[in-house]
Amino acid sequence: MTSKFAKALFLSTALAFTGATATALAPVTAIAQESPMVGGAPMFATKNIVENAVNSADHTTLVAAVKAAGLVETLSGEGPFTVFAPTNAAFDKLPDGTVETLLKPENKDQLTKILTCHVVAANAMSDAIMGMIADDNGEHPVKTVGGCTFTAKMSGDNIVIVDGQGNEATVTIADVKQSNGVIHVIDTVLLPAADDGMESDSAAMDDSGDGYMADDTMAESAMADEETVTVGGAPMYPSKTIVENAVNSADHTTLVAAVKAAGLVETLSGEGPFTVFAPTNAAFDKLPDGTVETLLKPENKDQLTKVLTAHVVAGDLSAEELMRRARNHGGRYNFNAVSGDALTAVIKGRSLYIFDEAGGAGKVTISNVNQSNGVIHVVDDVLLPS
């Protein structure tokens, strides 16, 4: 275990330095690689989603919307993201005046909702999407960063996304690789369901119209009606985020301390959805003496972040879904963590195990702890990068 962990720390540090060097020294020939054309411009896999999108003559409306919603920094971030990118012609299909209205500052929340419902927190290439559609008997649910759940299906050889209002968007250009994900160009704007955050804010106002309701008694009553799972002696509420629930588990004080030290509280409090494999205090205790203390030092923040994000997967994956995928792939399902490290779901008897790149395995001891921004599966071992 000591050698494996030392190797993990060494490799994560090495990757951080080599990644920075590669970016700084990238030769011009790297950009000259095969680049698909979108809107009359080459899309470079070495550039991020925003850097490429601004060059497409077919996506000027989308770019303007992203800027108006304040999403430029987000979509320039590490990701990975899958963006279903509507063309100008797609926006032109909307009723007259819709785009102009959405671009007004007072409608920023509605605009953000629509745009983030075009984004998935994963790097989903078309072959993977088609595989999931096939695995799900022709229709695969697509959970977006904006909280919308759409449906992916096939129409002949084309991937089609059905939005919350029944509109169908066809992927016209697939697999436009980016440094932080992938773009699939679509011919129709995807809209949330009519009752999915698109109604007037007045529904959330109190009778006086002076502000949003903030009745603690009502909130407590709502939570009391929730079906909860007990973890570390505390109820886990589906209406709370991953962080809000985790801080109450007596079995996860080390994990919470690590998340805080790594500066990941805001990330794991975000919309997600995320699947988190949450090691218990006992799992961290299995590591060599002094390992946790060393990782929590400020100078080791990058290594700590690498280890923690190796426990996070973009998307909401239930234990049943992971087991189903494992069965459909000969008993082992390979997928990637947010850190980029490979994980493998394996069924042993009636139990689900998650194997890491270092050869370790964490048994899922409590599954399907639903959160407002994803799901937690408690594991009995720390998952380590290779």
Mean pLDDT throughout 165-184?
95
Query: Could you give the CA distance from residue 203 to residue 99 in angstroms, rounded to a whole number?
Result: 23
Q: What is the mean pLDDT of residues 362-377?
A: 95
Q: What is the pLDDT of residue 253?
A: 92
Q: How far apart are CA 144 and CA 127, in angstroms?
A: 19
User: What integer pLDDT is reported at residue 20 of this predicted model?
Assistant: 34
User: What pLDDT, on a 0 to 100 scale, did the predictor assign at position 78?
Assistant: 86
**Quick check: 23 pLDDT over 80?**
no
Kindly state the average pLDDT of the residues 196-211. 35
Tens of pLDDT, residues 33-68: 368 999 999 999 999 999 999 999 999 999 999 999
The phi, psi pair for 13, rounded to 5°, reads -70, -45
pLDDT over 90 (residue 200)? no
Q: Which residue has the higher pLDDT, 325 or 8?
A: 325
CB atoms within 10 A of CB 234: 17
Write down the pLDDT at residue 357: 87
- What type of residue is 17? F
Q: What is the pLDDT of residue 193?
A: 87
Mean pLDDT score, 246-254: 92
Could you give phi then psi for residue 178, rounded to 5 degrees? -125, 165
| pLDDT at site 225 | 60
Helices 108-116 and 60-68 cross at an angle (nearest 10°) of 120
**Mean of pLDDT values over 124-128:** 94
Greater model confidence, 215 or 289: 289
Q: What is the pLDDT of residue 21?
A: 30
Which has more pLDDT, 28 or 127? Answer: 127
* Whether pLDDT at 122 is above 50: yes
Residue 286 has pLDDT above 60, yes or no: yes
pLDDT averaged over every residue in the chain? 83
Catalogue all structural domains in the chain, each as residue range(s) with its CATH number.
Answer: 29-201 (2.30.180.10), 230-379 (2.30.180.10)
The strand order across the sheet containing 181-186 reads: 119-120, 81-86, 181-186, 168-178, 158-162, 149-155, 140-143
Burial 74-84 (b: 16+ CB within 10 A, else e): bbbeebbbbbb
Q: Rounded to the nearest 5°, which phi and psi values hold at 162?
A: -100, 120
Please tell me what DSSP assigns to residue 196.
S
Look at residue 375 and tell me whether its pLDDT is greater than 70. Answer: yes
Say if residue 147's pLDDT is above 80: yes
> Considering only 32-46, 66-80, 220-234, 248-262, which range has the smallest mean pLDDT?
220-234
Q: What is the mean pLDDT of residues 73-99?
A: 93
Taking 60 as the threshold, does the pLDDT of residue 32 lie above it? Answer: no
Confidence of residue 30 (pLDDT cuts 50, 70, 90): very low
Position 113 confidence tier, pLDDT thresholds 50, 70, 90 = very high
Confidence check: pLDDT of 275 > 80: yes
Q: Is the pLDDT of residue 18 over 60?
A: no
Q: Does the predicted model carry a pTM greater than 0.75? A: no
pLDDT for residue 202: 29
State the Cα–Cα distance between residues 247 and 259, nearest whole angstrom.
Answer: 10
Dihedral of CA 252/255/259/260: which sign? positive
Q: 150, exposed or middle or buried, with CB in 10 Å at 0-12, 13-18, 19+?
A: buried
Q: What is the mean pLDDT of residues 135-152?
A: 92
**CA distance readout (Å), 153 to 84, 139, 196, 319:** 14, 5, 22, 23
The confidence score (pLDDT) of residue 181 equals 94
Q: How confident is the model at residue 199 (pLDDT cuts 50, 70, 90)?
A: very low
Percent of the chain with pLDDT over 90: 72
According to the model, what pLDDT value does residue 194 have? 77
Q: Please give the helix or strand (H or E) that residue 51 lies within, else none.
A: helix 49-53
